[in-house]
Chains A and B, each alone.
Chain A
Amino acid sequence: MNSSIKNALTFSTVEPSGGLRAAMDKGRAEIIAEVRASGIRGRGGAGFPTSVKWNLAAAAKSDRKFVVCNADEGEPGTFKDRVILSEYAGLVFDGMTIAAYAIGATTGILYLRAEYTYLREHLEKVLAERRAKGLLGQGVCGKDDFELDIQIRMGAGAYICGEETALIESMEGQRGEPRNRPPFPVDTGFTGRPTAVNNVETLAWVACIFARGADWFKSVGTGKSAGLKLFSVSGDCKAPGVYEFPMGITVASLLEAVGGQDAKAVQIGGASGYCVPAGEFTRTIAYEDIATGGSIIVIGRERDMLKVAENFMEFFADESCGQCTPCRLGNGKLLEGIHLLQQGRCSMQYLRELCSLGETMQLASKCGLGQSSPNALLSIVKHFQSEIMGRIPAAAAAARE
Chain B
Amino acid sequence: MSDCKEEPRAPRSTWISQVKTPADAGAIGATVTANIDGQDVKVPMGTTILEAAVKLGIRIPTLCNHADLCVAGVCRVCVVDVEGQRTLQVACAYPIAQPIKVRTHTAKVRNARRHVIDLILSDHYGECYCCARNNNCELQSLAKEYGVDFYRFGHPDKAKYEVDRSSYAVLRDMNKCVLCRRCVRTCIDLQEVGVLEVAHRSHKSKVETFMDKPLGEVICINCGQCINRCPTGALRANDPTYEVWAAIDDPTKHVVIQTAPSPRSAIGECFGLPPGTPMTYQMNTALRYCGFDKVFDTNFTADLTILEEGTELLLRLKKALVDGDKSVKLPQFTSCSPGWVKYIEHFHPDMLDHLSTAKSPQQMFGTLIKTYYAKLNNIDPANIVSVAVMPCSAKKFECNRPEMTSSGYKDVDFGLTCRETAQMISEAGIHLPDIPKSDFDDPFGTATGSGVIFGATGGVMESALRTVIELVTGKKVEQFYDHADIVPIRGFDGVRYAEIQIPDVGPVPDLLKRYFNDWNWLKGATVKVGVCHGTANAKRVLENIRAGGKFAECHFIEFMACPGGCLGGGGQPIPTSPEIRKARANAIYSEDSAYKVRKSHDNPAIWDIYNKFLTDGPCGHISHKLLHTHYTARGKYIIVV
Contact = CB atoms under 8 A, between A and B. Distances in A.
Contacts of B17: 179-180
Interface in B1-51: 12, 15-20, 22-24
B87 A364 contact: yes
A183 B18 contact: yes
A177 B20 CA distance: 19
Interface in A178-217: 179-180, 182-183, 187-188, 192
B74 interface: yes
B73 A325 contact: no
Contacts of A362: 87
B116 A364 contact: yes
Contact of A326 (B18, B76, B122): B76
A387 to B, nearest CB: 25
B629 to A, nearest CB: 40
Contacts of B87: 362-365, 371
B120 interface: yes
Nearest to A361: B115
A331 B202 contact: yes
A323 interface: yes
B22 A183 contact: yes
B108 interface: yes
B198 A325 contact: no
A325 B76 CA distance: 7
A358 to B, nearest CB: 10
B95 interface: yes
B501 interface: no
Given A360-B116, A366-B76, A169 B202 contact: no
B395 to A, nearest CB: 34
Contacts of B122: 329, 333
A361 B152 CA distance: 16
B119 interface: yes
B94 A364 contact: no
A172 interface: yes
Contacts of A322: 179, 198, 200-205
Contacts of B88: 363-364
A23 interface: no
Contacts of B204: 322
Contact of B153 (A175, A183, A333): A333
A91 to B, nearest CB: 32
B111 interface: yes
B202 A360 contact: no
Interface string B491-523: 000000000000000000000000000000000
B90 A180 contact: yes
Interface in A128-178: 158, 160, 169, 172, 174-175, 177
Interface class of chain A by DSSP:
helix
Given A158-B201, A180-B73, A331-B202, A325 B120 contact: yes
Contact of A182 (B95, B108, B179): B95
A320 B79 contact: no
B221 interface: no
A328 B205 CA distance: 8
Contacts of A364: 76, 79, 87-88, 112, 115-116
A374 to B, nearest CB: 12
B388 interface: no
A356 interface: yes
Given A175-B198, A182-B22, A360 B115 contact: yes
A240 interface: no
A272 B462 CA distance: 62
A338 to B, nearest CB: 14
A59 B24 contact: yes
B146 to A, nearest CB: 13
Which of B18, B22, B71, B93 has the largest number of chain A CB atoms within 10 A? B22
A68 interface: no
Nearest to B119: A329
B79 A363 contact: yes
Contacts of A182: 20, 22, 94-95, 97
A172 B75 CA distance: 24
Interface string B117-141: 0011011000000000000000000
A320 B73 CA distance: 16
Contacts of A360: 111-112, 115-116
Interface string A316-340: 0111111111101111110000000
Interface string A4-18: 000000000000000
Nearest to B118: A357
A256 interface: no
Interface string A103-121: 0000000000000000000
A318 B202 contact: yes
Given A61-B23, A326-B119, A363-B88, A174 B15 contact: yes
B23 A328 contact: no
Contact of A320 (B18, B74, B202): B202
A187 B95 CA distance: 14
A73 B123 CA distance: 32
A60 interface: yes
A190 B178 CA distance: 29
A304 interface: no
B13 to A, nearest CB: 9
A363 B202 contact: no
A280 interface: no
Contacts of A61: 23
A188 B93 CA distance: 15
A172 B14 CA distance: 13
B19 A172 contact: no
* Those 4 A-B pairs whose CB atoms lie nearest each other, nearest first: A322-B205, A320-B202, A329-B119, A360-B115
21 contacts: A169-B15, A169-B16, A172-B15, A174-B12, A174-B16, A177-B16, A180-B16, A180-B71, A187-B20, A188-B20, A320-B201, A321-B202, A322-B198, A323-B74, A324-B73, A325-B120, A326-B116, A329-B122, A333-B122, A357-B115, A359-B111
Interface of B: 12, 15-20, 22-24, 71, 73-77, 79, 87-88, 90, 93-95, 97, 108, 111-112, 115-116, 119-120, 122-123, 152-153, 178-179, 197-198, 200-205
